[in-house]
Structure 1
């Protein structure tokens, strides 16, 4: 039986996050770079039908979230997404550790690339309010990554409180944008509604799905949540509901203001869609200052949550030995996995020097960093139900085996649509991850032959 409540956690972590903290971490992480950047790309892929793609993605994410919620309460540990496969992928320890490693590193790729994309987008939106900033994209991105690292370093409570203030400001400005946008709404922009085939529509769904990914911050910090049995399921589902409604409203307003012809490859709307929309609203203050400010705030909250989540997953991989044990270190003063924070921030910073590969990074973040980890943990959910009968979580997702089946089918359709656009980038990333694990296995075979004390499995 797993432990679900309590005030302390293992390895120096402490339970300090309540329901509001978790909801705002999740909403703040989701409502960030995704809604300020991705609607341009989904609009290019699916036209006005991208509004439906965002709704479908939100509903699909809720199905996936039900699986994760049961897993998170069965194994409420830091870096949960990487913990679940290690606990549920059958009886062979090597297979379970490989699944854990692939899940964790893929998840980190998604979060790290999201931090990089966010940092680059901050510079783009600052350029709207301050044109001179356009010439300093990389330095501004590096400064944003450094600030995100410092906020995370001083503790999860500090990250939560910062996110609370920024999220309140952000939601206010976005609601103003939606209200003004709906008053300038042009119905002809939605005729025709479908401008591309099913493949591109599902590619848009997969891309939009990436915009909902930050809710996984909650299972990632489950070891730092007060009363997780009650807090985790409520926080996950409530934050997804709020975000789906907000995303849909923003994208509806965007397409109501911007004509379909503007969503051409290489046009400004593909990188700063809300900035282009704001220029058509006829309210200079919104276009010049309010929206860029909201974008910078939103994108920075995504960076905060992404850095925090990825560092906890790296921490979990250090715990189980698939990454060097140094990654499991916790700072004695701030009680955060500081080595993971350093690693995540340095990799994100290194990637900012390649802004010309923005779309390729976006695809890898979506397919390798989002689709693959979700697929692995949906399988983990099946493993929990069928292999780990010794564990009885306090939350049981409805639907039985039909739930993961529906989630896997829908996720597969979405991944094929987007994955086909940059096959070599995605396959190459997975091949590199697999190569490292093989090297690790050959150098330290003892790590994969130990007996699991908790399960008595080989």
Structure 2
């Protein structure tokens, strides 16, 4: 696809949208969508795989994800258009691969939205039961989805501002956990014991990657980012570096407080902080619930832009590609995504929805890594001078190989489901043509 044609398509796709999201707002929304409820449970699973070696597994994961982040940073500076990774892959390899990537991206987002909304409601019901649990669960799911949808319907700036505020709120209990718990660490608990077989260490790295995914959701709102050729790479690298440091700190403190007990803890952060004082346990429990609700705010800000981009490109009904004249947001796309996410939350459970979502990110990241190399080779720059990553070829290879490893470590039925979804998306593309 010639650069001129790519520019014309991007201009058409983003027409009517307001570029109002700056570096700090964009970084905050990325942190919000990456630091979800999973970090409140992940330390136990990591400790169960590799014990006190878990912080090193997180660091290794950070290298793998860092390679993907660098590829997305360069690709995002070259093609800062609605749809994010869908737009990168389409610009590099054409409409067919772009459509498949976009379908996997939206599928990942909507499955995660359903899973997180379900987990949010289940956590509140467990903490504060009021009346029949089933009824309370339905009310909570519908209420939280209506809240975040209503905010995002008011405008991209309002959606980003809400996500930014909620990011601060959700980080408070995690920072309290690290800041307070660090003074109660038992150094003996941090000493790795025994050997860890490569399979367990590899599984821990893959598990860590699940907790780092999510940036692709917010990249879908790149069509509403101000000075995107600079804002996208800066915000992306700032956010993901902060997330890596936070995760390593959380894992280290949890291990230092609980030691071998961390591997079997059902609520690891709450139980770890209980070592300091039992009165601190509710802080983490409430923080986990707020974290999940806040995550939905960023999802409803970013993910509907995939449907919007699809509609602008002729793959979905025209109504989904229309922008509200007053709020300058794709109203129909937002309502459609939120409605499907709500239905999934009401019908499903957190575990299987989020697991399917996490595995679906692998081909998205592979596509983004390969697209970054192709876009540089063809010198695609839609707005201004692109951000250039030193050693982009190496970063792309590391990202692709790490995602292939993630797929290989999935269960057979999950791998079959992943390739079935890719095959179905390919079929839909040819049928739609």
Does the residue aligned with 1:16 lie in a helix, a strand or coil? coil
Distance 1:131 1:223, change over 3 A: same
The match for 1:364 is 356
User: How far 1:316 sits from its partner (Å)?
Assistant: 1.6
Asked if 1:49 is matched to 2:53, the reply is: yes
The match for 1:243 is 243
User: How far 1:227 sits from its partner (Å)?
Assistant: 1.4
- Could you tell me which runs of 5 or more consecutive residues in structure 2 were left unpaired when the two chains were aligned: none
* Alignment partners' CA distance in 2, 1:196 and 1:314: 44
The match for 2:263 is 263
The match for 1:373 is 364
Q: TM-score, normalised by structure 1?
A: 0.83
Native 8 Å contact 1:128 1:292 kept in 2: no
* Alignment partners' CA distance in 2, 1:120 and 1:195: 38
Deviations 1:56-89 (A, max 9, x none): 2223222111111221121111112111111111
The match for 1:455 is none
The match for 2:166 is 166
Deviations 1:206-236 (A, max 9, x none): 2322322333345322221111222222111
User: How far 1:131 sits from its partner (Å)?
Assistant: 4.8
User: How far 1:321 sits from its partner (Å)?
Assistant: 2.7
Does the residue aligned with 1:352 lie in a helix, a strand or coil? helix
Q: How does 1:23-422 map to 2 (within 5 A)?
A: 23-89=27-93, 96-127=94-125, 129-132=127-130, 135=133, 136-190=136-190, 192=192, 197-261=197-261, 263-264=263-264, 269=266, 272-284=267-279, 286-288=280-282, 290-356=283-349, 358-368=350-360, 370-387=361-378, 393-417=385-409, 419=410, 422=411
Deviations 1:424-451 (A, max 9, x none): 1342244145325414523x43xxxxxx
Query: Number of paired residues?
Result: 423
* Alignment partners' CA distance in 2, 1:134 and 1:423: 38
* Alignment partners' CA distance in 1, 2:207 and 2:380: 36
Does the residue aligned with 2:276 lie in a helix, a strand or coil? coil
Does the residue aligned with 1:12 lie in a helix, a strand or coil? coil
* Alignment partners' CA distance in 2, 1:116 and 1:223: 25
Asked if 1:434 is matched to 2:423, the reply is: yes
User: How far 1:238 sits from its partner (Å)?
Assistant: 0.9
User: How far 1:138 sits from its partner (Å)?
Assistant: 4.4
Native 8 Å contact 1:145 1:303 kept in 2: yes
Distance 1:153 1:406, change over 3 A: same
- The one of 22, 26, 32 equivalent to 1:22 is 26
- The one of 409, 413, 420 equivalent to 1:424 is 413
* Alignment partners' CA distance in 1, 2:21 and 2:48: 39
Native 8 Å contact 1:19 1:231 kept in 2: yes
User: How far 1:342 sits from its partner (Å)?
Assistant: 2.1
Distance 1:112 1:207, change over 3 A: farther
* Alignment partners' CA distance in 2, 1:217 and 1:431: 22
Does the residue aligned with 1:335 lie in a helix, a strand or coil? coil
Native 8 Å contact 2:52 2:189 kept in 1: yes
Deviations 1:400-439 (A, max 9, x none): 422211221233223323x1xx331342244145325414
Native 8 Å contact 1:113 1:361 kept in 2: yes
* Alignment partners' CA distance in 1, 2:182 and 2:126: 22
User: How far 1:387 sits from its partner (Å)?
Assistant: 4.5
Deviations 1:77-123 (A, max 9, x none): 1112111111111xxxxxx3231122112122222222223223323
Does the residue aligned with 1:250 lie in a helix, a strand or coil? helix
* Alignment partners' CA distance in 2, 1:48 and 1:383: 40
Deviations 1:365-390 (A, max 9, x none): 2211x212101111212321335568
Deviations 1:178-205 (A, max 9, x none): 1222233234444545775333332332
Does the residue aligned with 1:258 lie in a helix, a strand or coil? helix
Does the residue aligned with 1:150 lie in a helix, a strand or coil? helix
Distance 1:193 1:138, change over 3 A: farther
